[in-house]
Amino acid sequence: MVSSRQLVTAATIPGIALSMWHPPERIKHGLPTARWPSREEAERSLLFTPIAIGQLTAQQRTWVPAMVPWRASDEGFVTDAVIDWYRRFAEGRPGVLVVEATGIRDIPSGPLLRIGHDRFIPGLRRLTEAVRDASGGETLLFIQIIDFLRINRRPTREAYFGRYLELGQQHRERLAHLTSDARFHADASEEEVRAALLGLEEEKLVHILSHREMEDYLYGYRERVWDMHLEHIRELPRVLPGLFADASARAFEAGFDGVELHYAHAYTMASFLSALNTREDGYGGAREDRVRLPREVLQAVRARVGGQRVVGVRFLGDDVVEGGNRIDDAVYFAGELAAAGVDYLSVSKGGKFEDAQQPKVGRAAYPYTGPSGYECMPTVFSDEKGPFLRNVELSAAIRRAVRDSGHTAPVVAAGGICTFEAAEAVLASGDADIVAAARQTLADPDWFRKMKLGRGDQVRQCNYTNYCEGLDQQHKQVTCKLWDREELDEPDVKLDITGKRRLLPPRWRQ
Ligand SMILES: Cc1cc2nc3c(=O)[nH]c(=O)nc-3n(C[C@H](O)[C@H](O)[C@H](O)COP(=O)(O)O)c2cc1C
Ligand code: SF4
């Protein structure tokens, strides 16, 4: 668990101020020296051996985990840019490609892909057809489906005290006490109280506002799954199984090979699992109760789509934040989800709101900016351990427990896995059944094919400094700094809205 907070600028990106937490040791790690396999060695390897996932078979144990590239339309539809993006990944022919976190509700969500209504199906079908075509049918295409709660931008002082703060008698009492002005008890009008609060020195606000109000003011209002005073939050256990089941049915109608329930990071389902979840309605508190809704959602999806369809879960091996889940919680959840018939378990780490950096006024908090965010996408500015294979011990413990309980669901590891030898070692030691690589695949979507064809010397190695994540944080079209300024004068190159970055990596010319 990481408790201290230290914010540093991780990388210099023209026009992008990327702030994220890094371990205080700030040891700069070099990239691992890669020994790439010959074609024959690759053919014999575990990495390129097929594996069963539910009723399907992935042709290799390579996996591209979900990555939001911010290319959907503002209404959440698949655009040509979304299709180009996944087509390009499919050309590398990974065993499994998981489409970015896609919202299950029919509500405006900015340029996040959505699947909360049938009108999204035609676009998603175009996407599955493009991927099938580009991978020659070799890549299984899954989609990650997500629910998230409301989060507001950090307000200005004027907006917070002028409008957002729900003024109560307690504020009046405290203000009267603090200012020794008895008028604030009752006589002063609401406008006068608000004006007085607005005029208070910043350090005095802690004497007036509750802890939660202070957070709303400093970080922006954010709903929690344990906000039982809100009806729609109380009702989540009644609403979410149906929403996830409907979204899954649409995914299969659109031609996806599987759905991945997003139970990781900062979002609704991970918050139900979290040890911080204090709901007292049977869906919070003890582990058995925290896993109840995630299990019910899985069961509802299964009941809707049938036993032949692949339904997997991405969840956290460790929440990282103080008071959150640790590996023993994750091991317990894995056992429960495996018993409930999950087809695979993809393990991630951290990525929480609780330790996120304070956003600037007018911006919303982002869950990958604190220590838990670092653990989710570790960079080369690290501690002794470094970013490579950083989270494999989590998948190892989870896989052991799942196997010990007699279940066969494959376990997927992620986090700084970027060489053939590292991937092969993870598989050989039984630390995971499948190896996921997000940023390495963003740096070079062809790297699987290059390895397989014995052309590993041509792999463009990710440098793990998170330029891509800086773009993601700002909801800008995600690209990689190793290729987005290359060959800009190619005939049909597509550029981002600034006209300075290419949106897709150049073709691999063998
Ligand atoms: C730009 C970007 C977007 C991401 N979006 C998602 C997402 O939508 N869902 C998810 O579960 N993880 C997401 N991740 C996390 C990755 O799937 C992966 O777990 C993480 O980057 C660690 O793997 P790596 O070291 O191979 O990059 C994202 C990562 C990046 C860099
Ligand atoms: S994928 Fe590209 S931009 Fe992202 S960390 Fe790797 S090298 Fe940097």
Burial class (CB in 10 A: 0-12, 13-18, 19+), 487: exposed
- The C-alpha angle 113, 315, 350, rounded to 5 degrees, equals 90
Residue 510 confidence class, pLDDT cut points 50, 70, 90: confident
Contact 319, 275 (CB under 8 A): yes
Binding site membership of 143 for ligand 1 (Cβ less than 6 Å): no
- Residue 17 scores a pLDDT above 60: no
**What confidence score (pLDDT) does residue 18 get?**
54
How many Å from the N-terminal Cα to the C-terminal Cα in the chain? 45
Question: Distance between CA 74 and CA 473 in Å, rounded?
Answer: 17
The one catalytic residue in 267, 283, 374, 464 is: 267
Residue 399 confidence class, pLDDT cut points 50, 70, 90: very high
- Residue 208 scores a pLDDT above 60: yes
**What confidence score (pLDDT) does residue 81 get?**
97
Instruction: Give me the phi and psi of 144, to 5 degrees please.
Output: -90, 125
- Which residues partner with 11 through β-bridges? 18
438 alpha carbon to ligand 2 midpoint, in Å?
Answer: 9
The more confidently predicted of residues 497 and 66 is 66
Contact 199, 181 (CB under 8 A): no
- Site to substitute for ligand 2 among 463, 477, 479, 483, most atoms within 8 A of C-beta: 463
**What confidence score (pLDDT) does residue 12 get?**
34
Question: Distance between CA 113 and CA 341 in Å, rounded?
Answer: 27
**What confidence score (pLDDT) does residue 414 get?**
98
Contact 168, 295 (CB under 8 A): no
Binding site membership of 447 for ligand 2 (Cβ less than 6 Å): no
Active site residue 366: no
Contact 387, 380 (CB under 8 A): yes
Give the rounded distance of the alpha carbon of 380 from its chain centre: 20
Q: Which of 427, 445, 442, 141 is nearest to 312 (CA)?
A: 141
User: What percent of the chain is predicted at pLDDT more than 70?
Assistant: 96
Q: How many CB atoms lie within 10 A of CB 280?
A: 10
Contact 10, 471 (CB under 8 A): no
Binding site membership of 53 for ligand 1 (Cβ less than 6 Å): no
- Residue 484 scores a pLDDT above 90: yes
Residue 304 confidence class, pLDDT cut points 50, 70, 90: very high
Q: What's the rounded mean pLDDT across residues 294-310?
A: 98
- Site to substitute for ligand 2 among 462, 477, 484, most atoms within 8 A of C-beta: 462
- Residue 2 scores a pLDDT above 60: no
Binding site membership of 435 for ligand 1 (Cβ less than 6 Å): no
Binding site membership of 439 for ligand 2 (Cβ less than 6 Å): yes
Contact 167, 196 (CB under 8 A): no
User: In 3-state terms, what secondary structure has residue 357?
Assistant: coil
User: What percent of the chain is predicted at pLDDT more than 90?
Assistant: 94
List strand residue ranges (DSSP E) for 325-415, in order: 344-348, 381-382, 411-413
pLDDT (tens digit per residue) in 364-373? 999 999 999 9
pLDDT (tens digit per residue) in 71-97? 999 999 999 999 999 999 999 999 999
pLDDT (tens digit per residue) in 159-175? 999 999 999 999 999 99
Question: Distance between CA 120 and CA 140 in Å, rounded?
Answer: 20
User: In 3-state terms, what secondary structure has residue 216?
Assistant: helix
Token output for 341: 């018939």
Contact 365, 220 (CB under 8 A): yes
- Site to substitute for ligand 1 among 63, 68, 313, 349, most atoms within 8 A of C-beta: 68
pLDDT (tens digit per residue) in 23-35? 999 999 999 999 9
Q: What's the rounded mean pLDDT across residues 98-109?
A: 96
**What confidence score (pLDDT) does residue 447 get?**
98
9 alpha carbon to ligand 2 midpoint, in Å?
Answer: 16
- The C-alpha angle 484, 490, 491, rounded to 5 degrees, equals 135
Residue 491 confidence class, pLDDT cut points 50, 70, 90: confident
Question: Distance between CA 408 and CA 401 in Å, rounded?
Answer: 11
Average pLDDT across the chain, whole number: 94
Question: Distance between CA 466 and CA 468 in Å, rounded?
Answer: 5
- Residue 474 scores a pLDDT above 50: yes
pLDDT (tens digit per residue) in 251-262? 999 999 999 999
Q: Which of 468, 459, 484, 472 is nearest to 37 (CA)?
A: 459
**What confidence score (pLDDT) does residue 20 get?**
85
